[in-house]
Amino acid sequence: MRLAALLLLIAAPAFALDCAQTDLDFAGRRLLGKTENLCQSYAGKVVLVVNVASHCGFTPQYEGLEQLYKTYRDRGLVVLGFPSGQFLEQEFDDDKEIQKFCQANYGVSFPMFAKTEVKGAGAHPLFVRLKERTGEAPSWNFNKYLIGRDGKAVAHYGSRVKPGDPGLVRVIEAELAKPGS
């Protein structure tokens, strides 16, 4: 028992240090849920971060995002949806409405987070970091950021790149083929 406690004490700081080296070392509040540390929850996964909205011309991309998630989740892909109303206020104000819309219209099962600012002075630190790493801030809804298993941003894809785009899928598959951290 003492050995297990000692190993836990030794391993815990190393894990925290690893998270500090990633682009996921931030907290986010789940839609209608608790706050979670993104690195601790998704360490070793390939992560597709997407700023989403319910009333946008790109909203049907939810269907493709859900398909990507279902196709690759068993191999280590997770899609994270961050609703935002920063582009012509195309998102509901209420998290319950967002959840209801996503479930009723697209059967979204991938993790969704509370309504979030994704650009400007009030941007969530995750989006600030992703902009720093890729050189691209979200210019509209449904921008996509791919993060590798090592927790580092790999690429940015604009709104017009659909979730099933062969170039995006090719990069996702390449990242999934890499060994976990």
Q: Which two tokens stand for residue 151?
A: 């927790």
Report pLDDT for 19: 83
The number of residues making up the chain comes to 181
Give dist(CA 102, CA 118) in Å, integer. Answer: 19
Point out the residues that are catalytic.
56
Cβ contact 125:117 at 8 Å: no
Q: What is the pLDDT of residues 40-50, one digit of tens each?
A: 999 999 999 99
Residue 13 has pLDDT above 70, yes or no: no
Report pLDDT for 8: 40
Q: What is the pLDDT of residues 121-145, one digit of tens each?
A: 999 999 999 999 999 999 999 999 9
Report pLDDT for 89: 95
Domains and CATH numbers, the chain: 2-177 (3.40.30.10)
Place of tokens 């998290």: 95
Give dist(CA 31, CA 37) in Å, integer. Answer: 14
Report the share of the chain in percent with pLDDT over 90.
Answer: 83
Tell me the pLDDT of the chain averaged across its residues.
90
For residue 169, which of 68, 57, 93, 87 has the smallest C-alpha distance?
Answer: 68
> What is the DSSP-derived secondary structure letter of residue 46?
E
Place of tokens 């996964």: 45
Give dist(CA 69, CA 39) in Å, integer. Answer: 18
Q: What is the pLDDT of residues 53-97, one digit of tens each?
A: 999 999 999 999 999 999 999 999 999 999 999 999 999 999 999
